[in-house]
Chain A
Amino acid sequence: MPLAEAQALLDGAARAGRLPEPALLPDNPDADQAALRSLAWACSRFSPWVSIEPSEPLDTLVLDITGCTHLFGDEWAMAAQVAGMLHRCGYFPFIALADTIGAAWALAHYGDFVRGRPRRLESLPVDALRLPASVVQTLHALDLHRISQLDRLPRASLPSRFGSILIQRLDQLAGRQPESLAPIPPPEPIEACRSFEYPVSDARALTVALRQLLDQVLKTLPPHEGILRLTVRLQTAEKKPVPFEVGLVRPTESAEHLMQLLRLQWERRSLPDQVTDIRIRVAQTAPMLSRQRWLFGDGTGLSGVRREDERHLAELLDRLSNRLGPNCVLRPQLQPDAQPERAVVYEPVQTFVVPALAAKNRLKAKGSRSDRKAKDGRNAFFPGQQTLSLVADRPLQICQPPMAVDVMSVVPEGPPLRVWWNGRSDDVVRSWGPERIQTGWWREETVRRDYFRVELADGRHLWLFRDLVRDQWFLHGTFD
Chain B
Amino acid sequence: MQIENWKLQIFNLRLLHPQLSTLDPQRSTAPATMIANHLQPNDSHKEWIKILSERIRAVERAARYAGSIVHPRWRPSEFGPLEPLFAPNGLEAGSLVEWLSEGWGDGAMTLAFLLARRVLDEKGVLVVIDDRVAAQWGASSELSRGRWSFYAAGAARWELPLERLIVIRPERARDRLWALEQSLRCPAVAAVFARLERASSLVLRQLQLAAETGGTVGLLARPLSAQREPSWASVRLRVEARPSTADGFTRRLRVQRLSGRGVWDRLTIELEIDHVTGDVRLAAELFDPARASRAAGA
User: CA A475 – CA B142 in complex, angstroms?
Assistant: 12
A360 to chain B, nearest CB (A): 15
Q: Select one of B110, B187, B241 contacting A459, CB under 8 A.
A: B241
Residues on the B chain within 8 Å of A477, using CB: 151, 154
B residues within 8 A CB of A57? Answer: none
Query: Hey, what's the 0/1 contact readout for A259-286 against B, CB within 8 Å counting as 1?
Result: 0000000000000000000000000000
Roughly how many angstroms separate A410 CA and B209 CA in the complex, as a whole number?
A: 55
Q: Is B57 close to A, CB under 8 A?
A: no
- Whether A328 contacts B188 in the complex (CB less than 8 A), given A309-B124, A320-B182, A462-B105, comes out as no
Interface size class of chain B, counting residues whose CB lies under 8 Å from the partner chain: 35 or more
Q: Which of A348-392 contact B (CB under 8 A)?
A: 349, 378-379, 381-388, 391-392
Q: Given A323-B178, A397-B132, A397-B151: A330 and B167 within 8 A (CB)?
A: yes
Answer whether residue A423 sits at the interface, using C-beta atoms and an 8 A cutoff.
yes
Residues of B131-153 contacting chain A, CB below 8 A: 132, 138-143, 146-153
Q: Which of B19-27, B68-76, B78-86, B157-165 is the contact stretch?
A: B157-165
* Bound complex: CA A393 to CA B154 (Å): 7
Report chain A residues within 8 Å CB of B260: none
Which residues of the partner chain B approach A430 to less than 8 Å between Cβ atoms?
244
Instruction: Name which of A99-107, A209-217, A222-230, A311-319 contacts chain B.
Output: A311-319
Decide yes or no whether A421 CB sits under 8 A from chain B: yes
B108 CB within 8 Å of chain A: yes
Whether B186 lies near A313 (C-beta < 8 A) is yes
- Contact yes or no, A384 B153, CB < 8 A: no
Cβ B105 vs Cβ A478 within 8 A:
yes
Could you tell me if B157 and A393 are in contact, using CB atoms closer than 8 angstroms? yes
**A310 and B148 alpha carbons, distance in the complex (Å):** 31
Nearest-Cβ distance from residue A399 to partner chain B, whole angstroms: 4
Q: Which of A283-331 contact B (CB under 8 A)?
A: 305-306, 308-310, 312-313, 315-317, 319-320, 323-325, 328-331
Chain B residue numbers with a CB within 8 Å of A453 are 275
B13 on the A face (CB < 8 A): no
Distance (whole angstroms) from the CB of B89 to the closest CB of chain A:
26
**Given A316-B188, A388-B153, CB of A397 within 8 Å of CB of B148:** yes
- Does residue A343 face the partner (Cβ distance < 8 Å to B)? yes
Interface SS of A by simple majority: mixed
Q: Which residues of B contact A429 (CB under 8 A)?
A: 243
Give Cα A400–Cα B178 distance, bound, in whole angstroms.
Answer: 26
CA distance A409 to B156 in the complex (A): 31
Chain B residues positioned under 8 Å from A479 (CB to CB): 105, 107, 110, 154, 251, 275
In angstroms, Cα B94 to Cα A469, docked, is 51
CB distance from B287 to the nearest CB of A (A): 21
* Interface: A76 (CB within 8 A): no
A48–B64 alpha-carbon span in the complex (Å)? 62
In contact, A398 and B164 (Cβ under 8 angstroms): no
- Which of chain A's residues have a CB closer than 8 A to the CB of B251? 455, 459, 461, 479
Q: Mark B238-280, 1 if CB is under 8 A from A, else 0.
A: 0011111000010111000000000000000000000110100
B109 within 8 A of A: yes
> Shortest beta-carbon distance, A246 to chain B, in Å?
17
Partner of B123, one of A309, A329, A387, A459: A309
Interface presence of A396 (CB below 8 A)? yes
Given the interface pairs A379-B163, A387-B156, the reply to whether A398 lies near B188 with Cβ below 8 Å is no
> What are 28 contact pairs spanning A and B, CB under 8 A?
A312-B187, A316-B183, A320-B179, A324-B171, A331-B162, A332-B155, A344-B152, A344-B153, A378-B161, A379-B163, A382-B125, A387-B156, A393-B157, A393-B276, A395-B151, A397-B149, A403-B143, A403-B146, A422-B140, A422-B142, A424-B140, A432-B249, A461-B105, A461-B107, A462-B105, A477-B154, A479-B107, A480-B106
* The 10 nearest A-B residue pairs measured at CB: A459-B241, A332-B152, A423-B140, A313-B188, A460-B105, A480-B109, A478-B105, A309-B188, A396-B154, A399-B146
